[in-house]
Amino acid sequence: SLDNALPESWQASSVLGGTPGLPNSAPPLPPAEPDIVVAQGRIEFGEIAVGAVASREVTVFNKGSADLRISAMEVADETGQFSIDSALALPATLVPGDSLAATLLFRPTRAGRDSALVRVSSNDPDEPMLELPVTGVGVAPGPSRFAGVVVINEIHYNPATRQGNDADFEFLELHNLSAEEVSLEGFHFTAGIEQTFRTGDVLPAGAYLVLARNAASYPGSVQWTSGSLVNTGELLKLVDATGATVDSVVYGVAAPWPAAANGDGPSLELKDPSLDNALPESWQASAISGGTPGLANSQPDSGQAGPDIAVAPAVVDFGVVNLDAQAQATVTVWNDGAGTLEIERVRVAGRDSTQFRLSDGLSSLSLAAGDSAAFVLAAQATAPRKRSAALQIYCNDPDENPVQVALEMYVNSPPSPPLLAKPREGEAGDRLIWFRASDPDTGDAITYTVQLAGDAEFSSDVMEQRGLADTALSVLDVAANHAVQPGTFYYWRVRAEDEHAAASEFSSPGYFRFETSGPTAVGNDETRVPQEVALLQNYPNPFNPQTTIRFALPGTAEVSLEVFDLRGRKVRTLLKQPRVAVGEHAAVWDGRDDAGRPVASGIYLSRLVATLRDRTVVRTMKMVLVR
């Protein structure tokens, strides 16, 4: 079929004497070569706490026609923040179409942005040294989500001589104040003793854990790795696996610290485990010589009448609060006792303490017998899903200190912006159709607001329809109240709103010509049936956190739409229905597996299986998730 007037269209036959009466000989095949390709153009770790470890997968593919031999994979990093997991076995050979996954680690030891290059050496003749840029930001860790949950509760730093040698009887006690078991895996001390907890180490709800210098002295205790408790006072600091501070104490051995704990027999123990253990007045010498390792702290009875704190309500439930909104509630405190009640400190503590605050800033006051005061609390909904914390009121009530009030709310997230379906850009029609918005909060009813305007900025003459439960709108319904002219081009957009008045952003605007009839009207366009089963490219792609997958059916079919990783393992079932109608459809993938867990960055495959009356069709499409 080539132009035989051109010399370059001709070749010498590869068969001696030619091929008279037969098809011409084929040209010799080019030599087989490997072709190295990586799934990512760059790797961005984002913000990682200093002291923590983050990992990302680097996947190398052989897209060539010959074996790819990877001889080395290393990180060019002068700072020492990045490394390749030592489990990677090299050299390795990849046959055409095969892939190799390696784990890249980021261990920030300082705050700030760092970068490096991953270098992959291979026998690819065109790219023998492939370089992949890597960046990450080290962030100084803040308080751990376990702060106020796991506390240093008792310190026996200088046992009495009559009890025995310090090396045999020193101990620390940790206490879990919560109603849930805490995994201690990765917890470690960065000041004082040396001890790192291993996989499987847990602290049950309400339980005590003894860390001993010599575990033989305290049955059931854990012997710390090395170090000792200094008899002159020191810093003890416990952090979690991310390096965030769980608890820290700088204990002293003389006033205002209880001096009796310094070699006279008692241990140093908190008067109440929920007190602020950074304050000397929160501690006492134990009433029992040698302390109470693994048990509740001793409580000496003062025998004196005093104040009696009462609080209402015991639980403050803010209900449903929309993301980035605020709500307020009041907690009343009064003194039911005979003596003066001293409110020493009020704070919000717990895993979600940043979601609640004291709006009036009140921190201390005195209440005479029978007096009361109110604390105004504000819920600051900056993170989705259920959130909880505790209001802690520290006072001089000998029986209740501190008093805790549970704080709860459900943070409602807005729906995603809808995607416009028809009319397509520049088409004519009289019916607007969009895809149903997804809502992170299961079960919320969603309504839609549609706007039409003569300009893409929607700056003037905006026509609006609110409260639509359906995902379609006849332009004629808008024309009933507005001057919508046939033959005129309009921009349109849609916003979703849930039953709690949380609204999405408007969709990207569409552009169409309003026509009530004619071959290009949307009504007629809807009657056009797709000619074949089609799985369209997801949008956006690459994506984070979610993407929309569209497909078309030429007839009613049994349909399954699933997501797989490159190893062929199913990650998520998006759709599985015995009967799906003809036309275009869409599903949204939020980057999670069937168990609701976020999946790692990488390449994934969407697979559509459509069983029509006369055949079964399978379509696949690549998607790229970038965290």
Please, what are the domains in the chain? 36-139 (2.60.40.10), 150-289 (2.60.40.1260), 309-411 (2.60.40.10), 420-525 (2.60.40.10), 534-625 (2.60.40.4070)
Residue with tokens 């026609």: 65
Buried/exposed code over 349-358 (b: 16+ C-beta within 10 A; e: otherwise): bbbbbebbbb
SS3 354: helix
Q: In the structure encoding, which two tokens stand for residue 481, read together?
A: 């109240």
Q: What is the mean pLDDT of residues 57-72?
A: 91
Cis peptide before 402 (omega within 30 of 0): yes
Q: What's the whole-number mean pLDDT along residues 505-518?
A: 82
The predicted-structure confidence for 359-373, as pLDDT tens digits, reads as follows 765 667 888 888 998
Residue 555's DSSP bridge partners are none
| Count of C-beta atoms within a 10 Å radius of residue 588 | 16
Q: What is the pLDDT of residue 529?
A: 65
**Among residues 266, 329, 321, 327, which one has the least CA distance to residue 297?**
266
Amino acid making up residue 374: A
What confidence tier does 26 reach under pLDDT thresholds 50, 70, 90? Answer: low
What's residue 609's pLDDT? 96
212 Cβ contact partners less than 8 Å away, ≥ 6 residues apart: 170, 171, 172, 218, 221, 222, 223, 224, 293
Please check the confidence at residue 518 and state whether its pLDDT lies above 50: no
Residues 410 and 385 sit within 8 Å (Cβ to Cβ): yes
390 neighbors 316 (Cβ within 8 angstroms): no
Backbone angles phi, psi at 365, to 5 degrees: -170, 170
d(CA 114, CA 272): 44
Confidence class for position 491, pLDDT limits 50, 70, 90: very high
Closest CA to 382 of 415, 357, 343, 411: 411
Give the alpha-carbon dihedral of 40, 42, 46, 52, to 10 degrees. Answer: 80
Q: Where are the alpha helices (DSSP H) in 45-174?
A: 166-169
Beta pairing partners, 493: 451
Q: Tokens 């200093």, residue?
A: 50
Classify residue 215 by burial, with Cβ atoms within 10 Å: 0-12, 13-18, 19+: middle
Tell which residue, 239, 55, 258, has the closest CA to residue 155: 258
CB-based burial label for 239 (10 Å; 0-12, 13-18, 19+): buried
Q: Which two tokens stand for residue 91?
A: 């050299």
- 247, 246, 251, 245: which is closest to 279 by C-alpha? 251
300: pLDDT strictly greater than 70: no
The mean pLDDT of the chain is 87
**Cβ-Cβ contacts under 8 Å for 362 (sequence gap 6 or more):** 346, 373, 375
Average pLDDT value for residue range 589-607? 93
Instruction: Provide the sign of the torsion angle of the four alpha carbons 40, 46, 49, 51, taken in this order.
Output: positive
Q: Write the DSSP symbol of residue 508.
A: P
Predicted confidence (pLDDT) per residue in 165-184, tens digit = 778 889 999 999 998 999 99
Position 396 scores a pLDDT of 84
Q: What is the pLDDT of residue 363?
A: 63
Read off the pLDDT of each residue in 42-49 and give the average, rounded to a whole number: 86
pLDDT (0 to 100) of residue 584: 81
pLDDT at 134: 92
Residue range 106-150, pLDDT digits in tens: 999 888 889 999 999 999 999 999 999 999 988 776 778 898 899
**Per-residue pLDDT tens over the stretch 422-441:** 898 888 888 899 998 888 88
Q: Which of 244, 242, 299 is nearest to 270 (CA)?
A: 299
Provide the pLDDT for residue 520. Answer: 29
* pLDDT-derived band at 30, boundaries 50, 70, 90: low
- The answer on pLDDT for 600 being more than 70 is yes
Quote the CA–CA distance of 294 and 73 in Å, as a whole number: 50
Lowest mean pLDDT across 19-28, 146-155, 342-351 = 19-28
- Residue 139 has what pLDDT? 79
Q: What is the DSSP letter of 281?
A: G
| Amino acid identity for residue 269 in this structure | E
Residue 148: which residues within 8 A CB-CB, separation 6 or more?
177, 274, 349, 350, 353, 390
Pure H helices in 431-485: 475-479
CA distance 236 to 153: 12
Confidence of residue 301 (pLDDT cuts 50, 70, 90): very low
The C-alpha atoms of residue 441 and residue 353 are separated, in whole angstroms, by 22
Give residue 22's pLDDT. Answer: 82
How far is it, in rounded angstroms, from Cα 438 to Cα 376? 35
Q: How many angstroms separate the CA atoms of 512 and 487, rounded?
A: 10
Burial 500-518 (b: 16+ CB within 10 A, else e): bebbbebbebbebbbbeee
With 0-12 / 13-18 / 19 or more C-beta atoms within 10 angstroms meaning exposed / middle / buried, residue 444 is middle
Token couple for 418: 């809808």
- pLDDT of res. 79: 82
Residue 527: per-residue pLDDT:
40
**Which amino acid is located at 590 in the chain?**
D
Instruction: Retrieve residue 36's tokens.
Output: 């190295």
Per-residue pLDDT, 305:
56
CA 410 to chain centre: 17
In sequence order, what are the beta bridge partners of 375?
A: 331
- pLDDT band per the 50, 70, 90 thresholds, residue 476: confident
Question: Which pLDDT score, from 0 to 100, does residue 362 have?
Answer: 60
Tokens of 267: 């241990």
Instruction: Using pLDDT thresholds of 50, 70 and 90, give the confidence band for residue 390.
Output: very high
Give mean pLDDT, residues 612-619.
92
Q: Per-residue pLDDT tens for 526-576?
A: 444 677 888 988 888 889 888 888 888 989 999 999 999 998 999 999 999
